[in-house]
Structure 1
């Protein structure tokens, strides 16, 4: 009530001391204090599901207008109106957090800018459940709420009382929350900076250079800044890039206050926050701390860099994927493609084009699926396909079949010239299939250059984002495309001969190792019983292929026999796999660093304590992650350096879908892993390269120690880190 009284007082003062147009405009939208019997903005309180002790449960206040002329307000309503007010009645130990709003729309009436919601919308409220909550009990949550419903001509104060009975334990979830979560703008982890200069507010926000801003507008959550200064909501905002920062300049206005009236927020705020909307459904949240913002490039009003450099980054990232550790399992397929490229000019070109088409189609398809899922409210990233047990089972079966083919167990009926056959003349269809498979298996991990491009793709319009995925695929396929069109490169390859059969069988080894790794991953994703059923399926298929190979070598019809043998195993797996799947399949791997599991609260707590934090994100399916851990992170020298410096090691395991990790990756402007981040005391996040050495991992704390020593403190990892 005090907040609403202050808002109404400010509106009254503004009408007295502002220009006549301001008063006239407000007089056109009167507030009726008595709520109507039938609300114009129907509200409801909904719970996502059951509450779990020690965790958060998400509640939602949903609003549906009775007709399209009515609208609600954001937490900062703008020049007129007021936001929603909530008064909770919670069980003992329960606590409600700050409401999470979707990005609002702008409504300009008579020179007044309001921040409104048109149509149905939902405001999410996280509620923390205490550890002491008893499973099996039902708790009652009560809420008294007030909100403002307006048209372009009239405003009505409305209110309601709501109650929910929430079970403590487990239960079904409300599927609508995925869509409502998707409407909440993601928060950028890296802090922005703000500066009040004269009667202008300048904010510098970390942002990928070259990002298409669309039609940007910054919705500022702070209503009062300092000494009577408030945002001039209807004024033109200026946007300009400098490197990886987007600068925004917002004009301020000074309210004319009566003599003796003191602004309760007379000092500059310690933090400003808001939402940056790009005008096409994309938006992000930010928090800014006080600091210097260079004005020289804000007022230049130069255009943002073109999309070209992002396309080059995606192309380079795809090219580097050819030598990344996560690509090694499919080197056997690529090696056979390289050998077969020594045929005729026409054949080599057609093979190169077909392989490229397969790679590009797979990358664009995976990227399109990721964008569609994110648009539907799902928190997924670039590696989402390997987080699904069914996909990994399919890849395991495929890897087992390819291994058997490379080992000479059987021959494919129409792809004997393919990358998994004996090295005879190839066919474009086979090269296309190889390209599809190569992209699916090779793209889970991100590499240099690729991270920035894929992170930008999450914010770009769909057409530009898909163009980046196509550039990534083009980079991955580029070496083979060049082989197809440059005869000199093909002449550098060994000539076909008997050695190819031996090489083919040798390549069954890495493919077999890939199959073994996938078996382990299946157990991590779905549990032991799930993995055993999968092994029965693979065994049945291999038995069928062994019999098929014998029939082929004797010149008999083979594939009907394979169908008869494999069908019972496929039917068994179709019923048994869903029944044996368990989400508890993957516990965190052992680590000599004894890391803390990542959560936003754990990271904030460690940083608030002034401790250095090394945060890394990994997954069982990310080969690059595992290589980096064995060579650079899980080492005694790294552990010793961390202990001396008092480092908090924190790990995020993304083997299975995790909304919190996906959100953090999005905030950092990346779409996949690995990701390695240092938080030194008093400093912003420092992202390390994606290919590590032990020196790279410990370099930030050694640099911090050396800097502390230069300031007159002792030099060493155990000094000066605070």
Structure 2
């Protein structure tokens, strides 16, 4: 038995020694050259070591780890956010050498299912300072090695990856990687030489960061290096107080509050500064800053803008369908002063309550991490079905098919009717952001909740102002025609635009959820109208003999409603075959690629439920003159369809201070975005393309030119001072 065991053990030892020998031979075979040596390519992200130049004893050399993700894949910043994990590095260096903390470029935000990630989607380099001790260096160079581990992800899956990277640092010669290192260094955010201050309240992390008041901020965002402190996906609020930028970020603190924090203040997607902050007094917030860097007007100016926008909303195309309800109410209000005031107050209460309720719901959803904007309710097919049924019922009411006090607009002395009309006016009117409204609504998404709710109430007040004027100013009321038989005829005539509104809602449902869904929605509306017509017939006859028919219609509507979920099949968003402008669907990547071509770019955001958007497209965009001007100038056109909820478009709208559509942006070659007015004239775009400067309403440049450095607080060059991240 022993004679059998001993030879086997000898064989095992021999094999082990052979494996060690092979490993030593491979280790000694590392080339002694001063250029990067690329490891075996990982599955999805390639990694490569490179050095800035020849090393010298007693100095610091910068080494880069250059990553190249495959298309659709991304790597992570050292604080990955809500998911993922940062890179892990294990260096093998000669005795006495030291590696400092890695220095990262500005990451980008990636929101997936409410989780915010800090990522890099294209090639990027992480720089690591290596400190070389004093002494003699070998002429053949110094070998170093690195065991790196990282996470590679798409928007769907993640794969842990690693690489063993080897490199021989040259001690003489020229730096072959100098051009690449210049670009990599420029991408590292410079270090502020002044410390910021921070404080933690019950709900917020508040920061006071010293940056000059003149520094343009296109899309400010705080990437906090310290973990377990903030809600990464929550909106960040910024304001300016002199040469300090005040940032307020909702908390998600786990554990004790730290004594110091650090991170990156991003100016836009590529530029930023690295800051450190100590506990201290932050002070009151200053003038609010929109995400595009523009300082918001004062609250008084915003309130006046919201009220003026609401007032003008009464004549916007998207509000026309409800003018019939207003017209009848205005006519009825002329009967007596007391009744007119009651009607005006009830109507105004309905409008203001609906506007503030919609605004509060938008703020609540955004605070919960949802990417929604103004008029988000019309992006939900179920809500539009409800509006379709309501519009069909009001059409039947105006046509005289039935009388129902809660929606009848011809009953005298019925404040509940005026209140319901006001609510309906606000719900139907608010999808469009008319002139003066854009700045106010965009600011409402940035201001503290109380001030934001005041802005939404001011919008409702502006929408209700004509009705209030009739109710409380006798001279205005006397201009109205006296009540009479004409009102009944006018009521029946006004059933036509309301019926057209119902048809438009049915078309919108088809665009949102598909043909079968729209067919069922129309069936539900028809069943409800048939039921109400049966009820009205009984009302006129003074009997209840048709109650069974009415109940049968309601049952049919309920049965059809159960089939809506299974019928949901939204069509693909596609440009009409008759569209004149050759526009591609919007995405941030496509916009970046278009701007990189050096050609002018025009981007517009629209929705099928926004009538003012469609009017602008008909009047100014989808025209032969505009098409020819675009073709001559080489304009690249992109269109963002916000008919259905699209988080990327919502984030982009918010980043430009817009709460809804329409939004029109013009990018001159190599220049920053210019925001056009929300009402376009027939020649606006033709003139814009032909002359360069924008004629007509414009919000001015969205951002200034990028400035890679800041003074006072001054910036230290990357890699100087402490040289740590």
> Shorter-chain TM-score category?
0.5 to 0.7
Q: TM-score normalized by structure 1?
A: 0.62
Could you say if the C-alpha distance between residues 327 and 166 of structure 1 is closer, same or farther in structure 2, counting changes exceeding 3 Å? closer
Partner of 1:89: none
Q: Is the 8 A contact 1:55 1:128 kept in 2?
A: no
Displacement of 1:635 in angstroms is 1.3
Q: What does residue 600 of structure 2 align with?
A: 612
State how far apart, in whole Å, the 2-side matches of 1:705 and 1:246 are.
Answer: 21
1:270 aligns with none
Distance 2:153 2:668 in 1: 44
C-alpha displacement of 1:588: 3.3
Matched, 1:344 2:347: no
| 1:395 to partner: Cα distance | 0.4
Matched, 1:311 2:303: yes
CA distance change for structure 1 residues 603 and 560 in 2, over 3 Å: closer, same or farther?
Answer: same
Q: 1:546: Cα distance to partner? A: 2.2
Give the distance between the partners of 2:300 and 2:215, measured in 1 at CA: 15
Q: 1:406 aligns with which of 389, 398, 408?
A: 398
After TM superposition, give the deviation of residue 286 of structure 1 in Å. Answer: 2.3
State the shift of 1:655 in Å: 0.4
1:699 to 664, 678, 687: 687
For residues 284 and 584 of structure 1, what CA distance do their matches in structure 2 show? Answer: 41
**Partners of 2:211 and 2:245 within 8 A in 1:** no
Q: Which residue of 2 aligns with 1:281?
A: 250
Report the counterpart of residue 484 of structure 1 in structure 2.
471
Is 1:365 paired with 2:365? no
Change (3 A) 1:664 1:388: same
CA contact (8 A) 1:341 1:348 kept: yes
Equivalents in 2 of 1:223, 1:245: separation in Å? 15
8 Å Cα contact 1:676/1:688 also seen in 2: yes
Separation (CA, whole Å) in 1 of partners of 2:148 and 2:270: 37
Aligned ranges 1:94-109 → 2 under 5 Å:
98=107, 100=109
Evaluate the alpha carbon distance shift between residue 489 and residue 389 of structure 1 in structure 2; reply closer, same or farther with a 3 A threshold. Answer: same
Secondary structure of residue in 2 paired with 1:356 = helix
Would the alpha carbon gap of residues 464 and 562 (structure 1) be closer, same or farther in structure 2, given more than 3 Å must change? farther
The secondary structure found in structure 1 opposite 2:512 is helix
Equivalences for residues 321-336 of structure 1 within 5 A: 321-336=313-328
Q: What does residue range 578-617 of structure 1 map to in structure 2 within 5 Å? A: 578-584=565-571, 586-590=573-577, 591-617=579-605
- Distance in 2 (alpha carbons) for counterparts of 1:480 and 1:441: 17
> What are the equivalent positions in structure 2 for 1:110-509 lying under 5 Å apart?
123-125=117-119, 223-224=189-190, 230-234=192-196, 278-281=247-250, 285-287=266-268, 304=287, 306-412=298-404, 414-415=405-406, 420-421=408-409, 423-509=410-496
Deviation string 1:297-349 (CA, Å, 9 cap, x unpaired) is: xxxx9974641111111111111101111111111111111111102211111
Partners of 2:694 and 2:82 lie apart in 1 by 59
CA change 1:63–1:516 in 2 (3 A) is: closer
The answer to whether the Cα contact below 8 Å between 1:617 and 1:651 also exists between their aligned partners in 2 is yes
Is the CA contact 2:524–2:558 (under 8 Å) kept in the aligned structure 1?
A: no
In 2, the alpha carbon distance for the partners of 1:245 and 1:524 equals 38
Q: Distance in 2 between matches of 1:484 and 1:58?
A: 63
Root-mean-square deviation (CA), in Å? Answer: 4.4
Contact persistence 1:628–1:691 (CA under 8 A): yes
Shift of 1:472: 0.5
Partner of 2:555: 568
In structure 1, the partner of 2:722 is none
Q: Answer yes or no: is 1:633 the counterpart of 2:621.
A: yes
| C-alpha distance in structure 2 between counterparts of 1:447 and 1:706, whole Å | 20
Alignment check: 8 A CA contact 2:196 2:210 kept: no
Distance between the aligned counterparts of 2:447 and 2:512, measured in 1? Answer: 32
Q: 1:364 to 1:167 in 2, by over 3 A?
A: closer
- Residues 383 and 101 (structure 1), Cα distance of their counterparts in 2 relative to 1, 3 Å cut: closer
SS in 2 for 1:278: strand
Question: Conserved in 2, the CA contact under 8 Å of 1:241 and 1:247?
Answer: no
CA distance in 2, matches of 1:243, 1:234: 16
DSSP 3-state at the match of 1:662:
helix
2:110 and 2:509 map into 1 onto residues whose CA distance is 38
CA 1:303–1:369: 2 relative to 1, 3 Å: closer
8 Å CA contact 1:547–1:562 kept in 2: the answer is yes
Are the equivalent residues in 2 in contact too, given 1:4–1:82 (CA < 8 A)?
no
C-alpha distance in 1 between matches for 2:465 and 2:75: 47
Residue pair 1:548, 1:558 contacting (<8 A) in 2 also: no
Do 2:219 and 2:268's aligned partners in 1 also have CA atoms closer than 8 Å? no
Distance 1:354 1:553 in 2: 29
CA distance in 2, matches of 1:658, 1:324: 25
Q: Whose Rg is larger?
A: 2
Give the conservation status (yes or no) of the 8 Å contact 1:223–1:231.
no
Q: Which runs of 5+ in 2 are unaligned?
A: 1-46, 61-69, 88-98, 129-146, 159-185, 198-207, 221-243, 252-263, 272-283, 288-296, 696-725
Q: Is the 8 A contact 1:548 1:561 kept in 2?
A: no
1:654 deviation in Å? 0.5
Please say if residues 523 and 586 of structure 1, whose CA atoms lie closer than 8 Å, have aligned partners that are also in contact: no
Structure 1 residues 55 and 570, CA gap change in structure 2 (3 angstroms): farther
CA distance 1:595–1:64, shift in 2 (3 Å): closer
- Tell me how far apart the structure 2 counterparts of residues 407 and 559 of structure 1 sit (CA, whole Å): 19
Matches of 2:75 and 2:463 in 1, distance apart? 42
Query: Would the alpha carbon gap of residues 600 and 400 (structure 1) be closer, same or farther in structure 2, given more than 3 Å must change?
Result: same
> Aligned partners of 1:572 and 1:650: how far apart in 2?
42
Q: Is the 8 A contact 1:618 1:673 kept in 2?
A: yes
Give the direction of change, closer, same or farther, for the CA distance of 1:453–1:409 in structure 2 (3 Å limit).
same
The question of whether the paired residues in 2 share the 8 Å contact of 1:611 and 1:648 is answered with yes
Name the CA distance, whole Å, in 1 between partners of 2:581 and 2:335. 53
Q: For the residues of structure 1 that align with 2:561 and 2:631, how far apart are their CA atoms?
A: 49
Q: Cα 1:308–1:533, aligned 2, differ >3 Å: closer, same or farther?
A: same
The normalised TM-score by structure 2 is 0.62
Give the equivalent residue in structure 1 for 2:176.
Answer: none
Q: Give matches, 1:67-78, under 5 Å.
A: none
Distance 1:427 1:609, change over 3 A: same
State the 1:557 CA deviation.
3.0
Q: How many residues were matched structurally?
A: 505
Contact 1:524 1:587 in 2 (8 A): no
Kept in 2: contact 1:688–1:696 (CA 8 A): no
Residue 92 of structure 1 is matched in structure 2 by none
